[in-house]
Structure 1
């Protein structure tokens, strides 16, 4: 029965928040909640910043206007930032590395730290694979340039394997779901909320997670041109503060946010709530500090060594710390809902 629900699952999967993945398109829509002469163009992902800010009331009483461009993944969002089509957007830990590696015009201005439990490699429930070392020679679906891509590399390394020891199938989530469900691949490297959805709606289990192997960071990334504009820079700073308050609201109201998120993305409420409690609601706004930069440098160096980005570079050159304020260190522990909420 679960496998027969596959066609109905593909559309929600295509629409879900994908902070980390590959190619997509953008749609622009105006937002007239604010007032004043400054217009901040924000690259968003469905069920992302706009939904969180609106649900938490943080889009009220703006003294600038916001417009939204919607993407289904991080890399094309950063292409838009580099092209000055948007001023600011949020992505996972790997898209900035691929963008900077291509010499894109981007600046990391904010960060969050959350649980890596939703970063997972999943296998079919009846798979003979019991540990990551057994992935040698197996086929694995993964979105190129995604946080799952790095999590896969790091997990293989921890198991004594190299990326060349497995057969990679670069697939975006909807195609990967189809391949996984039809037995075309042995495993799937994925991130939440896809992890929560596949575990609830298909016969799958977790082989390993990103806990202890990936940094759990996400970033807000701005256009250099926007930062040079005094009024836009001030608006970006204000929005980052509002995002911090909105994230606090998500943690304090997980059920309310799950209802909004489910409606925005088309995923079942139960899946949304699982994802909120597993990873999405665990995020803590943190400083873009030396530790965060060093952790991202490690990701950059890894992909450079694998020949998956065009050049080596210093991640620090793509960071602006002016908005760090008094935020906790990037190593701050993610929030936890505890066993009662799991």
Structure 2
């Protein structure tokens, strides 16, 4: 899409308990009518929705839950920016662009690093064998995505500059077609597109993000919602953690549910799930520092118009 196993040994309650920095709810009685509007992509939050456990737990707090499905993280964050949702899940890059646009987001939880879930792929018969071989080659990726950051860092690690390759900006479906027809030399992509390319074309991994990029997922809210509803956020993150723990211990069943959501063959999703690091971790300054490095790289590339201070998206009282 590491040292992630240590956190998984903690109780699920520890993940949610990492949010006490949020103040107690303001201006709400124990059973005051409230709403939690979740924006979800087809993934872990969709599995949580199907279980109904979140609604059951929040009912005792007088909280009604609504769900809206989105096809991408940037659209979710735009919905947050205009006040249409209170919570969602997203990758590393979209929150940076959202902050640059003035969105009032707050990071409330994250996944462990998932560097093996994103990679530079080449055709199985490609003469490219090392990262240095990418010099002068056509490399496709989604512009402004976390894999663009991964590519920049990978090239630097191997003594190359971003200007040493010929970027081809393509969304995953278009990049897949270009890869299949040989009109690009390499494709930088994440799961499940990564796993699908391996299964369909025998794509070969030139390098994954291990020791190069972190590749986390994030859960976000708005600053006001996180400040005023810490009890709701704690329950929500606890339920996310429980769903994730179930997936870790039941990978085949987890993959089967995702395969239905994504409309992909089960073996493809199983491959992606096998290299997924499960877990739900609290936001720390170290994690936000990782995001700051991405934000600064995007500024250097001219992808954002001004420097983004990621710490401004911390929840109140972050240690």
TM range (shorter): 0.7 to 0.9
- In the alignment, is residue 265 of structure 1 matched against residue 257 of structure 2? no
Partner of 1:236: 233
Partner of 2:79: 80
Q: Show the 5 A alignment for 1:24-173.
A: 37-55=33-51, 57-63=53-59, 64-173=63-172
Q: Which has the higher relative contact order, 1 or 2, with Cα contacts under 8 A spaced 6 or more apart? A: 2
Deviation at 1:315, TM superposition (A): 0.8
Distance 1:48 1:172, change over 3 A: farther
Query: Matched residues in 2 for 1:322 and 1:113: separation?
Result: 22
Unaligned runs of 5+ in 1: 1-34, 325-342
Q: Note the aligned Cα RMSD (angstroms).
A: 2.1
Cα deviation per residue 1:40-66 (whole Å; 9 max; x = unaligned)?
111111133022453595554441322
Deviation at 1:251, TM superposition (A): 0.3
Partner of 2:298: 303
- In the alignment, is residue 253 of structure 1 matched against residue 250 of structure 2? yes
Any idea what SS the aligned residue of 2:88 has? strand
Partner of 1:21: none
Report if the CA contact (8 A) 2:40-2:89 is conserved: yes
Normalised by the length of structure 2, the TM-score is 0.84
Cα deviation per residue 1:280-316 (whole Å; 9 max; x = unaligned)?
xx22211211211211111111111121111112211
Normalised by the length of structure 1, the TM-score is 0.78
Distance 1:185 1:36, change over 3 A: farther
Task: Say which is worse superposed, 127-136 or 43-52, in terms of deviation.
Answer: 43-52
Query: Matched residues in 2 for 1:169 and 1:196: separation?
Result: 21
Alignment size in residue pairs: 286
Deviation at 1:322, TM superposition (A): 6.0
Partner of 1:319: 314
Query: Matched residues in 1 for 2:318 and 2:45: separation?
Result: 18
Task: Say which is worse superposed, 84-93 or 47-56, in terms of deviation.
Answer: 47-56
Partner of 1:221: 220
Report if the CA contact (8 A) 1:106-1:318 is conserved: yes
Query: Matched residues in 2 for 1:52 and 1:156: separation?
Result: 38
Cα deviation per residue 1:175-220 (whole Å; 9 max; x = unaligned)?
1111111111111110111111111111311010001111232211
